[in-house]
Structure 1
Amino acid sequence: MKLLLLILIISCQECLTKKKSSKYEHSVRYHIFTLDKNQTIDLVHNIDVNISGICNPKTRSDYKLITHGFAETWNMTFRWNWVQEMIEEMLKSNQAKSLCIIAVDWAELAKGAKLTMNYWKAIENMKVTAEIMSIYSDKMKMNEKKFHCIGFSLGAHMCSIFYKTYFEMYKRKPFRITGLDPAGPFFSSKNTSEKLHHTDADLVDIIHTSDNFGLDEKNGHMDFYPDLGDINACNEVKQRFDNLENVILYEETTTNKKGVEYKEIQLNNLTEIDTLSVENLKKKLNSLFCKVKDFFSNKPKRVFISLHQFFGCSHLMSVRYFIYSINKCDYKSHMCNKKQDFEMKKCLDNSNSYDFARMGYHTERSNNKYLTSYGNFYLNTTNKPPYCDPSQNYKPGFFRSLWNKIIG
């Protein structure tokens, strides 16, 4: 009798899970790219498509799943479309012929609410998204040992929940997760079953770039810290937008629609005599209000981008580093016990060996002693794209180049 009751309880739980997944089924889509296909394939709307033949395991040996973050979309038009840029860069790589790239579109669930944005609800929605992703991936008959999930911010934890769910459902552990500055707010207090952790995959590599938005924890097999967290490329942005007035009124050699350049307004120029004059104070405040109102009315997108650049520069640099690591930068990194050792140059590797520790796309090509080290890795970057010195990139000899072409 107890056994029968237990079976009924488990069956009911499975029914509820399927019902919940079915409810949100049309809220998660796989958009698939290969070198010989220019169009995307929407697994929801293309219900008659031969899913198992989209990325044939016999011809596609590497699966790259890209998961966007909170309140983002897979094809962003309101700001930098980093997902598309990442896909394009992958399809230019030496591995392009073997790649099956999947842009995971969970925008509706990642937003958390229809009319507003709800971060906590978006976190809650990760579980049902992971269930749908697991079902899609299994139907495509992909080899999970060729999975590489690349997630930015909340998307990094999305990769984690997806892999955990996939393992629960099919008892098979996927290969790799790259966490691009995993989201930090409200994740520090969560246990390892609810966030990105090195137990999720055979290889978990993480790029940490932001103290404000990123997770200040070591959770991967390899944790990378470019510029010790003080990102060089963002210093100029910090200087440019050093106060709220400059964020609102800043113009880069552009003018308003009347052709008159905005002048920077300094509120601290109001003298004691001015403040005693009600009329003067009214005029100054009214002038400021009109300029701000005009700026917001005519350039809403520009204001959004400026604010996002100011507050999210370091956070998004993790994505930029990863994209440039595909074809342009080696990002040679050094394993150190602590960042002070790197600052004092106690752990620099001067070897020209090919098997150094790499940050980004090619991390898995690092020497096995690094891949299994659970270590912290440090490196310096430059402040201009591609954020590395190309002359410092490793240049393989003839036989190594030949071998790289053979293995793709």
Structure 2
Amino acid sequence: MLRSCFFIYLMCWVGSDAEKKCPEFTDLSLGNALTGTDLKVQLLLYTRQNQNCSENLSEHNVTASSSLNTTKKTVFVIHGYRPTGSPPVWLNDIKELLLALEDFNLIIVDWNRGATTVIYPTAAHNTKKVACILKKRIDQMLADGASLDSIYMIGVSLGAHIAGFVGQMYNGKLGRITGLDPAGPLFTGKPPDERLDHTDAQFVDVIHTDIDAFGFRKPLGNIDFYPNGGADQPGCPQTIFSGSKYFKCDHQRSVYLFLSSLKRNCNITTYPCDSYSNFKKGKCANCEDFHPASCPVLGYYADLWKKQLRKKNPPETTAYLDTLEQEPYCMYNYFIEIITWNKSVRRGLIKIKITDYSGNTIDSHMKCEPTTFLQYRQASILVGFNQDFDKISRISLTFSTKSLIGPKYKLRIIRMRLRSITNPARLHLCRYDFVLPENIEVTFKPIPCQKKGITASEKEPLLT
């Protein structure tokens, strides 16, 4: 008898546990996109206490949640247009990485019903409706003790504009908004109240990675980051024959750059500048020339730049950088500064390799533009490497005009200086009085730069 009762109890317990399901992000299909979906929003709450099983916040009483703590910071993650209906591939990563950093309320805003449609204008039209729904839920949180200062919204594509609309409803008093490649189509050319704007929160940072297609070209935030100029991202397909990746790779890169910043493998350093062209020409690598703060970093820790400025309303700034094609994306940047004494103007490319004392050698990964060398004028070339050496034992330079016909030229160099931009306190390395024949690699041992004069050691033989 006792055994029978225990068996019945066990079956009931297993059955009740099986019935308990974790709310999940809405998973739809291309069929749903073809027929269209009516807008429905659910807020999926994750915390460190329930990071593997979300809690669906009730639309009638958000603060009735057992997991929501309104005294903590609250982060909203808002996705964008979903033409196929599938959940964003990056959703689980951003949840795990954010909760690993801080103990806060993480709310995934699921508006897949409303974003899933082949008719993009329908999804774009729904953005203001989603914002109104979020406003009602946040009002409930505020009534239960939350503060606008502690609310941080991360919006992707159309989600960036949703965050902006919510911020407008609170007169820009939200703590922070991060826009990850805000959508361009149907928003470009619109006034500030019809899109994300720098007045929508106390701090608005934006990453632009697809300004020539699905992204928004012009600045929208207090600081706007343009990796690789904001258009074609390294490693992304260049032709339509690559399939769907051709359409979404550049647009999604903003998300993956943000995710990389959460992992803290390296700081993705950026440089305030008025254009990508001037950045590539090496005109903007000294951050103190623009603001009395260190170089801003892209991603989650971008707000440190605002704190360093110590200004309530940080200036509208554009910042540029080049990245690698895969994680951790960071480049370690250097300036090569060359003074020549050729009487005639020379124009060409400089290729550089550096070697450490263990014999490890790396090439520059940054695509450099041709440099013009004028007599007794310093030419500055910005280069980047995929790793950094604390101590450099050898430097190799190759000069090329890329000309297939005609005479070969030489660069007669008075001084070459290599200085780290990523680590500006590092020792500057120099070499004096040598020649670079075209298309011939010249290797030498650099020495610490001297302010005046040239010592005998500075004229050690070149290793060609």
TM-score w.r.t. structure 1 length?
Answer: 0.64
Aligned counterpart, 1:196: 196
Pick the structure with greater CA Rg: 2
Offset, 1:325: 0.6
Q: Distance in 2 between matches of 1:197 and 1:363?
A: 17
Asked if 1:180 is matched to 2:180, the reply is yes
User: Is the Cα–Cα contact under 8 Å of residues 38 and 114 in structure 2 kept in the other structure?
Assistant: no
Q: Which amino acid aligns with 2:148?
A: E
Aligned counterpart, 2:280: 343
1:305-344 to 2 correspondence within 5 Å? 307-328=243-264, 329-344=266-281
How far does the alpha carbon of each residue in 1:69-104 deviate from its partner, in whole angstroms, 9 at most, with x for none? Answer: 01269x945xx52122111111222xx22x211100
Asked if 1:40 is matched to 2:54, the reply is yes
Cα gap change, 1:34 to 1:214, in 2 (>3 Å): same
Aligned counterpart, 1:381: 323
Q: Which amino acid aligns with 1:224?
A: F
1:2-13 to 2 correspondence within 5 Å? none
Offset, 1:346: 1.3
Asked if 1:127 is matched to 2:69, the reply is no
Q: Superposition RMSD on alpha carbons, in Å?
A: 3.0
Which structure has more RCO (C-alpha within 8 Å, separation ≥ 6)?
1
How far does the alpha carbon of each residue in 1:359-394 deviate from its partner, in whole angstroms, 9 at most, with x for none? Answer: 111111113279712111011111122212585698
Aligned residue among 62, 67, 82 for 1:54:
67
Q: Distance in 2 between matches of 1:232 and 1:173?
A: 34
Asked if 1:150 is matched to 2:154, the reply is yes
Which one has the bigger helix percentage?
1
Aligned counterpart, 2:207: 207
How far does the alpha carbon of each residue in 1:338-371 deviate from its partner, in whole angstroms, 9 at most, with x for none? Answer: 22221111111389x9943011111111132797
User: Is the Cα–Cα contact under 8 Å of residues 26 and 44 in structure 1 kept in the other structure?
Assistant: no
Q: Distance in 2 between matches of 1:178 and 1:208?
A: 11
Q: Which amino acid aligns with 1:162?
A: V
1:8-407 to 2 correspondence within 5 Å? 27-37=40-50, 38-44=52-58, 50-51=63-64, 54-58=67-71, 60=72, 62-71=73-82, 76-77=86-87, 81-93=89-101, 96-97=102-103, 99-111=104-116, 116-141=117-142, 142-165=146-169, 167=170, 173-210=173-210, 211-235=212-236, 237-238=237-238, 242=239, 244=241, 247=242, 307-328=243-264, 329-349=266-286, 355-366=294-305, 367-368=308-309, 372-389=314-331
Aligned counterpart, 1:20: none
Offset, 1:51: 3.1
Offset, 1:213: 0.6
In structure 2, list runs of 5 or more residues that go unmatched.
Answer: 1-36, 332-385, 389-420, 424-464
Q: SS where residue 160 of structure 1 aligns?
A: helix
Cα gap change, 1:208 to 1:52, in 2 (>3 Å): same
Offset, 1:135: 1.1
Q: Distance in 1 between matches of 2:297 and 2:255?
A: 15
Cα gap change, 1:26 to 1:44, in 2 (>3 Å): farther
User: Is the Cα–Cα contact under 8 Å of residues 54 and 140 in structure 1 kept in the other structure?
Assistant: no
Cα gap change, 1:49 to 1:345, in 2 (>3 Å): closer
Which one has the bigger strand percentage?
2
Q: Which amino acid aligns with 1:65?
A: F
TM-score w.r.t. structure 2 length?
Answer: 0.57
User: Is the Cα–Cα contact under 8 Å of residues 81 and 157 in structure 2 kept in the other structure?
Assistant: yes
Q: SS where residue 187 of structure 1 aligns?
A: coil
Q: SS where residue 54 of structure 1 aligns?
A: coil
Q: Distance in 1 between matches of 2:58 and 2:65?
A: 14
Aligned counterpart, 1:4: none
Offset, 1:189: 2.7
| Percent of residue pairs bearing the same amino acid type | 30
In structure 1, list runs of 5 or more residues that go unmatched.
Answer: 1-23, 248-306, 396-408
Q: Distance in 1 between matches of 2:83 and 2:147?
A: 28
How far does the alpha carbon of each residue in 1:45-74 deviate from its partner, in whole angstroms, 9 at most, with x for none? Answer: 8x677437633233x2x211110001269x
User: Is the Cα–Cα contact under 8 Å of residues 149 and 176 in structure 1 kept in the other structure?
Assistant: yes
Aligned residues: 289
Offset, 1:199: 1.1
Q: Distance in 2 between matches of 1:201 and 1:149?
A: 9
Q: Distance in 1 between matches of 2:260 and 2:95?
A: 12
User: Is the Cα–Cα contact under 8 Å of residues 25 and 132 in structure 1 kept in the other structure?
Assistant: no
Q: Distance in 1 between matches of 2:328 and 2:137?
A: 35
